[in-house]
């Protein structure tokens, strides 16, 4: 069961990574990141259940908190970016980089 959980979490993690790279919409990208964290949580809970110790639970609790703080920053990011360009397309934010050289 534990391995199944872990495999599932790897699959979810991979899906998250795919979404993060393939999508141009920053909101979807953000949700992909959240999916990554969730995938990790899933395994942590399973491991915790397996060894009968709540440490994993606590860890995933922390990770949820971290996710929340990331969420806060991302929210402000959306606002800032949208204010600047009126769009949340990841591709249009590329004035930095080496093209001008």
Partner 1 sequence: MTNTFIALAVPALLLLSAIFILLFGFSSYYSKNRGYYITLVTLFITFCISVNGVGDIHSAEVFPHIFNAMVVYDTFSATFISLFLLGGFLSLAIAKSFIDKTNFFVPESFVLFLFSLFGMVVLTMANELLTAFIALEIASMAVYVLVGLNRESLKASEAFFKYLLLGSFSASFYLLGMMLIYAQVKSTNLNVIAEYILNNDLNSQLLIVAGSMLIMITIMFKIAAVPFGAWVLDVYEGASLPITAYMAAVFKISVFAFIIRMFLTNNDFVQLVFDPLIILGAVITMIGGSLLAVIQSSVKKMLAASSVVHSGYMMIALASIEDIDSSASSAIIFYLFSYFISAIGAFGVLSYISKGTDKLISFDDLNGLGKNSPIIAVSLTIFMLSLAGFPSTIGFIGKFYIFTSAIESGYTPLALFGAITAFISIYYYFKVIVHLYFKESTDVKVQYGYKVSLAFIMISAFIVLWGGVGTSLIFNIPGINALNELSKYAIQSLVF
Partner 2 sequence: MTNNILLNILLLAPLTSALLIFLLNISRRYTKQTLYTLLALSGSGLSAMIALYISYTSYFEQKLFVSNLFTWLNIGDFTIEVTLKADALSSFMLLFVAPVSFLIHIYATGYMDKDKSYGRFFTYFNLFIFFMFLLVLADNPIIMFVGWEGVGLISYLLIGFYFDDIQNTYAGNKAFIVNRVGDFGFLSALMLLFVEIGHGGFSYDAIFFNLSLIDTPMLSLIALLLFVGAMGKSAQLPLFVWLPDAMAGPTPVSALIHAATMVTAGIYMVARFAPLYNIASDVSLFIAYIGGLSALFAAIVATRQYDIKKILAYSTISQLGFMFMALGVGAYSTALFHMFTHAFFKGLLFMGAGAIIVAFGHKQDIRELRGIRRSVPTIFIMMLIGSLTISAIPPLSAFFSKDAIMGILYASDHLDLFFIALLSSLFTVFYMFRMIFVLFFSENTTEPSKNSVKSMNYPMAILTLLSVFAGMLNLPEIFGGNLMMSSWLDLADKHFVFSHANEIFLMSVNTILICFILYYAYKRYAYKDTILKESTTGLVANKFYIDALYQLIIVKPLYALSFFFDRKISHDLIDTSINSMALNYKKLGKLFAFFENGNVRFYALYMLIGLVLGFIYLFLLLKAML
Partner 3 sequence: MENEIVFSVLAVVAVVSAIVMISAHRPIDSALSFIVTLISVAALFGLVNATFLFVVQIIIYAGAILTLILFIIMFLNIKDENLPEEKYKNRWLLVTSILILPFSVILINLILGSDIAVNSVINENLGTIKDVGLTLFSQWILPFELVSILLLVALVGSVTLSKRKD
Find the farthest-apart pair of alpha carbons in the chain and give their distance in angstroms, rounded.
58
Provide the minimum distance between the beta carbon of 101 and partner 2 in the complex, in angstroms, as a whole number.
Answer: 6
Provide the minimum distance between the beta carbon of 12 and partner 2 in the complex, in angstroms, as a whole number.
Answer: 16
| Cα angle value 71/37/74 (rounded, 5°) | 20
**Contact partner, 7, from partner 1, partner 2, partner 3, none, Cβ < 5-8 Å per class:** partner 3
H-assigned helices in 1-101: 2-22, 26-51, 55-85
The 51-90 site mask, x for binding partner 3 (CB under 8 A), equals xxxxx-xxxxxx-xxxxxxxxxx-xxxxxx-x---xxxxx
Which of 6, 8, 15, 17 contacts partner 2 by CB under 8 A? 17
């Amino acid at each position: 069961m534990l391995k199944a959980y872990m495999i599932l979490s790897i699959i979810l993690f991979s899906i998250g990574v795919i979404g993060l790279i393939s999508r141009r919409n920053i909101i979807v990208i953000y949700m992909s990141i959240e999916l990554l964290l969730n995938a990790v949580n899933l395994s942590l809970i399973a491991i915790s259940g397996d060894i009968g110790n709540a440490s994993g639970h606590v860890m995933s609790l922390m990770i949820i908190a971290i996710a929340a703080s990331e969420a806060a920053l991302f929210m402000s990011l959306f606002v800032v970016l949208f204010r600047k360009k009126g769009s949340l397309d990841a591709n249009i934010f590329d004035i930095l980089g080496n093209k001008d050289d």
